[in-house]
């Protein structure tokens, strides 16, 4: 299963942001990007549109948050949580001098 996009990072907001903050952030960024007609701005606008389509709807946002959480738990079960997670897990285990 591919890792889902981090729509919160796309918009530059914290995960616990209120719906009003998500909407205001989206409209501010969209307004700025409409003023600059470049390919880069068009790609960025497409990305924030996709993020807002998911995070702007309470039902889609809840489903997205569940999917991202489930993905993170699956990653932990598979042991693919990354180098640092493995390192800190190793440090947290008691030392056995056998």
Residue-by-residue DSSP string for the chain: -PPPP-HHHHHT--TT--HHHHHHHHHHHHHHHHTS-SHHHHHHHHHHHHHHHHHTSHHHHHHHHHHHHHHHHHHHHHT-S-HHHHHHHHHHSPP---
pLDDT higher than 80, residue 68? yes
Q: What is the set of domains in the chain, with CATH numbers?
A: 7-92 (1.10.287.110)
pLDDT higher than 70, residue 63? yes
pTM score, whole prediction? 0.68
The predicted-structure confidence for 16-60, as pLDDT tens digits, reads as follows: 999 999 999 999 999 999 898 899 999 999 999 999 999 999 999
- Across the range 79-98, mean pLDDT stands at 54
pLDDT of residue 98: 46
């Amino acid at each position: 299963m591919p890792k889902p996009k981090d729509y919160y990072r796309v918009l530059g907001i914290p995960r616990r942001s209120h719906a009003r903050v998500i909407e205001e952030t989206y409209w501010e960024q969209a307004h700025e990007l409409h003023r600059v007609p470049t390919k880069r701005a068009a790609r960025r606008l497409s990305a924030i549109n996709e993020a807002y389509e998911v995070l702007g709807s309470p039902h889609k946002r809840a489903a997205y948050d569940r999917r991202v959480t489930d993905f993170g738990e699956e990653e932990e079960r598979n042991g693919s949580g990354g180098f640092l997670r493995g390192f800190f897990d190793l440090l947290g285990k008691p030392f056995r001098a056998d």
